[in-house]
Amino acid sequence: MSAPEQPGPGGHDAIAVVDFGGQYAHLIATKVRRQRVLAEVRQPEDPTAAFRGYRGIIISGSPSLSSHGEDSAYNKEIFELPVPILGFCFGHQEIAKRYGGRVIHGGREWGPVDFRRSRPHPLFAGLAESERVWMSHFDSVVEVGPGFEELGTSRLGDGEVHRFAALGSDTLRRYGLQFHPEVDDTLHGDQMIANFVLGICGCRPSWTMARYLEEQLDAIRARAAGQSVFLLASGGVDSTVAALLLGRALGEERLHLLHIDNGLMRQGESQQVLALLRGLGLGRHLHFVDAGDEFLAALAGLVEPEQKRWAIGDTFVRVFQREAERMGLAGHLLGQGTIYPDTIETGGTRRADTIKTHHNRVPIIEEMIARGRVIEPLAELYKVEVRELGESLGIPREVVWRHPFPGPGLGVRALCADGAAPAPGELERLSAEAGAIARPRGLEALGLPVRSVGVKADLRSYERPVLLSGAAPFERLLEVAGEIYQRVAGVNRCALWLGGAPPRSARPLQATLTRERLELLREADAVVMQGLRRHGVHDQVWQCPTVLVPLELDGCGRELVVVRPVLSERAMTARPAELPAALLDELGERLLPLPGVSGLALDLTTKPPGTIEWE
């Protein structure tokens, strides 16, 4: 077997990543690109021709069970291709089965384990005999077929040995790893991926942002084929990078930008965005429309988060279409700064559940995409890559690295509710069960009569938060919160009460999105963002939404303000960030006196089970 018969995309040596799992495949692609080798995500049912030209294939993990033959109707001709193939988890099991091995339902491992290689092998070059790797599986390989050997085993904390943690055939160049080298929890996973991609597949590292940029410019010119593009520019890093790319590729005459003030932006934001775009030389055809009233009208009376998201997304398109008509630009292509995770979380890959509909993936847009009327130059990239590209295009550092801000803006940060009381006894049960976990550690717990969105076992949840109160070190608070949302049914979030005496009762209020609530939220958000900067923690936190929750506490106020500082790499998972005590005190002093505020809390929830935004 030798090199592929055709060169890879753009003349690069490249790897195809077969996406069986939705959530991790993109991570594998990112990790391959980090080796400066182009990686492209392919679907399991893609025709064999779509896999030609790659120097190797990686098969991802999956929520499906290989032992039960789930998800087995994929294109198996890929196994006939003359290039090395490596499988992770589900991919590992499918490779074992394909070549005469046996997979059973059992031998579950979860979290970090100790991996020991059976002998030195190119896949583990430069690594120790024993390595910490990360497992997450229900099925296991118990036998390999002819020509295959066991390349390593794993050991749990109690010393129990699991066979076939790694397997392979050097003659066939087929390999499998039961663990996930793509997640950061596998300490030297990057080295294993490098060993496969650069060593076993022999890829020459040639993929750089500079080359990617040149190729994208060519691709945009070809795709636009003489047409002009009309782009919605929110001022966020994604749409700004997309605008610069399009401007560079097509020239300023063929690029029209529209900034819509949807009334859901931060304080003074639209003016800053217009100044930024002009400063970047994108002012030639820069249009602005204040559509705040129209968005508020579309949101009037809505309570359910997905309905609100759809209303915001549809209004964007309506305003955009009307403006395009008015300016005689209706025949233009629609440009969007969509990045890869937007597609995944909207359920945009066949195997992923809809956690939240992102504003650039509402049905009208999907229909325009199907008609070939949309151009999305960043659709294959992840935030960190967009930022890298943004820096190489000369966007100021503070813009490139500013916190992500969702398209629906403050619209998904003012929680709406119908004000209905929960079923009798429901909150009492939540408070009692959560209290039983919290009290032995010196904390009190109160179930709250509202719901927020979360994600559990890859599925959407819409459940209740628990409010903790009392003093404890941050790590202990996280521990208690974690135990509560894992053990108490119907809870997907915990927040910590900040301030004086904790409330004894919470009454749900009917609330929709109004101008007054938005004004209050804008002010609270500005206080939080200024505080983060003043205390020097703005750049350490990945994102910090401020949320209004319509609750009367002990008969007072209308809005509980929740601050949600998180650490994250790719927004698919997140951990609560600790803020300096002095900042929390200051937030209390400045936020509690705002009109209608009933209290202040700090969100302590990881993602999963909570999402970053509450709606």
Rounded Cα distance between 74 and 62, Å, is 13
Residue found under tokens 């997450």: 136
Q: How far is the CB of 264 from ligand XMP (least distance, A)?
A: 11
Catalytic residue, chosen from 40, 109, 182, 376, is: 182
| Residue whose C-alpha is closest to residue 453's, from 607, 560, 348 | 607
Select the residue interacting with ligand XMP from 31, 121, 137, 356 (CB under 6 A). 356
* Footprint on residues 563-602 left by ligand XMP (CB under 6 A): 571
Rounded Cα distance between 103 and 330, Å, is 56
Nearer to ligand XMP, 344 or 446 (CB): 344
Select the residue interacting with ligand XMP from 406, 435, 503, 550 (CB under 6 A). 406
Q: How far is the CB of 493 from ligand XMP (least distance, A)?
A: 12
Rounded Cα distance between 351 and 348, Å, is 8
Q: Which stretch binds ligand XMP (CB under 6 A): 171-179, 401-409, 501-509, 529-537?
A: 401-409
Tokens of 229: 């593009």
Burial of 361 (0-12, 13-18, 19+ CB in 10 A): buried
Tokens of 244: 């610069």
- Residue 196 and residue 123 in contact, taking contact as beta carbons nearer than 8 Å: yes
Collapse the DSSP code of 39 into the 3-class scheme (helix H, G, I; strand E, B; otherwise coil) and give the result: strand
| Residue whose C-alpha is closest to residue 183's, from 92, 86, 60 | 60
Q: How far is the CB of 461 from ligand XMP (least distance, A)?
A: 12
Active site residue 416: no
Q: How far is CA 585 from CA 550, 562, 578, 591, 600, in A?
A: 23, 14, 13, 10, 11
Nearer to ligand XMP, 341 or 550 (CB): 341
Helices and strands (H and E) in the chain: how many: 16, 27
- Residue 78 and residue 51 in contact, taking contact as beta carbons nearer than 8 Å: yes
Catalytic residue, chosen from 12, 26, 121, 180, is: 180
Q: How far is the CB of 517 from ligand XMP (least distance, A)?
A: 19
Nearer to ligand XMP, 266 or 429 (CB): 266
Binding-site size, ligand XMP (CB under 6 A): 16
Q: How far is the CB of 607 from ligand XMP (least distance, A)?
A: 5
Nearer to ligand XMP, 407 or 565 (CB): 407
By the rule CB under 6 A, 404 interacts with ligand XMP: yes
At residue 567, what is the residue type?
A: L
Active site residue 94: no
Q: How far is the CB of 604 from ligand XMP (least distance, A)?
A: 15
Select the residue interacting with ligand XMP from 91, 247, 408, 422 (CB under 6 A). 408
The 312-351 site mask, x for binding ligand XMP (CB under 6 A), equals ------------------------------x--x------
Burial of 126 (0-12, 13-18, 19+ CB in 10 A): exposed
By the rule CB under 6 A, 407 interacts with ligand XMP: yes
Active site residue 180: yes
Q: Which stretch binds ligand XMP (CB under 6 A): 169-177, 270-278, 400-408, 531-539?
A: 400-408
Tokens of 612: 């970053």
- Say whether the peptide bond before residue 595 is cis (omega within 30 degrees of 0): no
Rounded Cα distance between 436 and 452, Å, is 23
Collapse the DSSP code of 286 into the 3-class scheme (helix H, G, I; strand E, B; otherwise coil) and give the result: strand
Select the residue interacting with ligand XMP from 162, 359, 413, 451 (CB under 6 A). 359
Q: How far is the CB of 374 from ligand XMP (least distance, A)?
A: 15
Q: Point out which residues bind ligand XMP (CB under 6 A).
A: 342, 345, 355-356, 358-359, 404, 406-408, 543, 571, 607, 611-613
Task: Write out the catalytic residue numbers.
Answer: 89, 180, 182
